[in-house]
Amino acid sequence: MMNGAPALAFTGLAPAPSTLAATRTLSAAPQLQAASEATNARKSRSGVLSNLGAGLAIGAACAARPRRTARAGQPAAIDEKRFPVLSRRNAPVGKFPKMPESVHPGVVSGQALIDLLDHAKKEGYAIPAVNCVSSSGINACIEAARKMDAPIMIQFSSGGSQFYAGKGLDNKEFHAAIAGAVSGAYHVRAVAEQYGVPVILHTDHCAKNLLPWFDGLIEADERYFELHGEPLFSSHMLDLSEEPLEENIEICVKYMERMAKINCGLEMELGITGGEEDGVNNEDANPEDLYSKPEEIWQVYEALAKIPNGFFTIAAAFGNVHGVYQPGNVVLKPKILDAAQKYIAEKIGAEEGTKPVSFVFHGGSGSDIADIREAVDYGVIKMNIDTDTQWAYWSGIKDFEAKYHDYLQGQIGNPDGSEKPNKKYYDPRACMRSAEESTVERMEQCFKDLRCTNVLGLGAPEKPENVLGPRRGGLPA
């Protein structure tokens, strides 16, 4: 069906269920002070982050306002549904009939993020996480989420982030990739509340050689936190699965201690996701490395659960493979996740049937729907999607060209007349909208496969108003 890697979990902060709720409560003042001191102590990153600082300071005019912790209890009026950084209100606006009180329209972080993922695990659904490389792709994914009355996760890889900034930019020290991810994050924050659904803003696989990119994103999170009381991104992923497990855990702990101060979540991976994605090729990986052991997952859980105010997800390998392959070529073993849940629950003294770990599913494209749903039953709360949405976007463009082929051979002249203009057909918005519609259609199936439909309680969206017609730049009739 979809694409991604193993499983991750924004899991509890304490080793025992009795202390889980208490340790998940996020406090503000000490973290603001700690984040500020950490940022001042670090040498300011040259080049890109200096420029990004100007963008992050958009909200400086209202930076003196209190932290965005309180939530308005009533739905937002149309003039209130604005990019929060450009408005004077202190809190997100709106709520959902079926969601925890903390979960609001727009980008969620901190306690709202934890509550949303806990809700997914409790209710037995997983949230689609889509790798995006353009604002058009982002819009299509959030449009699909609203149509399916569901939350969604928008994420960026390092390569996708660089593309978002522009392939004409030099990426020395990952400056273009940092700028692209931050630019995409601002786009998501600008439109997410308009669509009226909760959005988790995330970055995908970060191997050891990409840590400078990760460092730049964390610095951007810290600067945003100083202004707005929350990180720019909801969470980030570290993929150190090719390193020894002890080193993998050690680096994850180091970063999570820093991220916990700004309420930013961490996704980590152990075991290897097969196949190829974004320049990382594991097609010849040792088959044994495609399956994590409960003892290894416990090592990760035990180390990360000790970090005060930290929250994390785990991408454990259970046969996952990036890309799409013929049926039978991918052998998923979701019961590995079930065994890990039972093993860890026993270790922490939890009740039988408890699922202490929130897993993430990578590399699911082409997987059998029964395997996907079994993994969700065992605590998968997020599933990565890339390969299928890439094809869906391209398919929309391909089909548009086929339908209007005779109108796309020149600026003037088509079957309607030799002097007829073709501008409304070759206008990039026309084929891009076709790509978006195809993506929305494919995403609908993803939401259904993951049982992530009608979970917000909003009902069907209203038909958009004030949509421009062909003479004003709309699509051909």
Which stretches within 196-330 are classed as H helix? 211-228, 245-260, 294-305
Query: What is the distance between the alpha carbons of residues 300 and 314, in angstroms, rounded to a whole number?
Result: 8
Place of tokens 């999170």: 221
Place of tokens 């259609």: 441
- The 3-state DSSP class for residue 324 equals coil
Which among 323, 261, 232, 226 has a CA at the least distance from the CA of 34? 261
Query: What is the distance between the alpha carbons of residues 130 and 223, in angstroms, rounded to a whole number?
Result: 26
- The 3-state DSSP class for residue 211 equals helix
Selected catalytic residue, list 204, 338, 371, 386: 204
DSSP 8-state symbol, 239: -
User: Is the Cβ–Cβ distance between 270 and 296 less than 8 Å?
Assistant: yes
Provide Rg for the chain, Cα atoms: 22
Measured in whole angstroms, how far is the alpha carbon of residue 29 from the centre of its chain?
Answer: 27
- The 3-state DSSP class for residue 443 equals helix
DSSP 8-state symbol, 287: G
Catalytic annotation present for 118: no
Element (H, E) at 72: none
Which among 164, 267, 253, 159 has a CA at the least distance from the CA of 213? 159
How many CB atoms neighbour CB 282 within 10 A? 20
The amino acid that residue 228 corresponds to is H
Task: Tell me the catalytic residues.
Answer: 204
